Amino acid sequence: MTIIDFSKPPKPDTYYQMFTKPTLPDFFSRQVSGARRFYLNLQPPRSVRPVVVSGGCEHCEPGYEIKRRGFRYLSIEYVAAGRGSLTLKGRPYLLTAGTVFAYGPRIAQEIQTDPDNPLLKYFVDFVGDDARELLTVAHLDPGSVMQTSTPAQVSAIFENLIRNGQNDSPLSARLCAVILEELLLKLAETAVSPRSAGTPAFQTYRRCRLYIEEHFMELGSLKDIASRCHIDRAYLCRLFRRFDHQRPYQLLTRLRMTRAAELLQQPGAMVKQVAAEMDCCDPYHFSRVFKRVHGIPPREFVRLRDD
| Domain count of the fold of the chain | 2
139 and 204: one domain? no
pLDDT reported for residue 129: 87
Which backbone phi and psi does 123 adopt, to 5 degrees? -150, 155
Residue-range definition of the domain harbouring residue 267: 199-306
Angle at 79 between CA 39 and CA 239, to 5 degrees: 135
pLDDT reported for residue 307: 65
CATH number (domain holding residue 18): 2.60.120.280
Identity at 103, one-letter amino acid code: Y
pLDDT reported for residue 8: 40
pLDDT reported for residue 18: 37
Cα separation of 79 and 96, whole Å? 6
pLDDT reported for residue 165: 96
pLDDT reported for residue 266: 86
90 and 168: one domain? yes
235 and 301: one domain? yes
The pTM of this model reads: 0.73
221 and 154: one domain? no
Last residue of a domain, one of 131, 165, 192: 192
Last residue of a domain, one of 192, 215, 233: 192
Cα separation of 298 and 295, whole Å? 9
The 3 state secondary structure assigned to the chain is CCCEEECCCCCCCCCCCHHHCCCCCCCCCCCEEEEEEEECCCCCCCCCCCEEEEEEEEEECCCCEEEEEEECCEEEEEEEECCEEEEECCEEEEECCCEEEEECCCCCEEEEEECCECCEEEEEEEECHHHHHHHHHCCCCCCCEEEECCHHHHHHHHHHHHHHHHCCCCCHHHHHHHHHHHHHHHHHHHEECHHHHCCHHHHHHHHHHHHHHHHHHHCCCHHHHHHHCCCCHHHHHHHHHHHCCCCHHHHHHHHHHHHHHHHHCCCCCCHHHHHHHCCCCCHHHHHHHHHHHHCCCHHHHHHHHHC
CATH number (domain holding residue 234): 1.10.10.60
Query: How many other C-beta atoms are found inside a 10 Å radius of the C-beta of residue 166?
Result: 18
Cα separation of 292 and 17, whole Å? 43
93 and 204: one domain? no
118 and 224: one domain? no
115 and 32: one domain? yes
157 and 231: one domain? no
pLDDT in tens, the chain (307 residues): 333 333 343 333 323 333 344 478 999 999 999 999 999 999 988 878 899 999 999 999 999 999 999 999 999 999 999 999 999 988 999 999 899 999 999 999 999 999 999 999 999 999 998 888 888 888 889 999 998 988 888 999 999 999 999 998 999 999 999 999 999 999 998 888 777 777 889 889 889 988 998 899 999 899 999 999 999 999 999 999 888 888 999 999 989 999 999 899 888 888 888 888 888 767 788 899 989 888 898 888 888 777 6
30 and 114: one domain? yes
Sheet holding 74-81, edge to edge: 32-39, 51-60, 120-127, 74-81, 99-103, 145-148, 191-192
CB-neighbour burial class of residue 148 (10 A; exposed 0-12, middle 13-18, buried 19+): buried
264 and 215: one domain? yes
36 and 69: one domain? yes
54 and 97: one domain? yes
Last residue of a domain, one of 146, 169, 192: 192
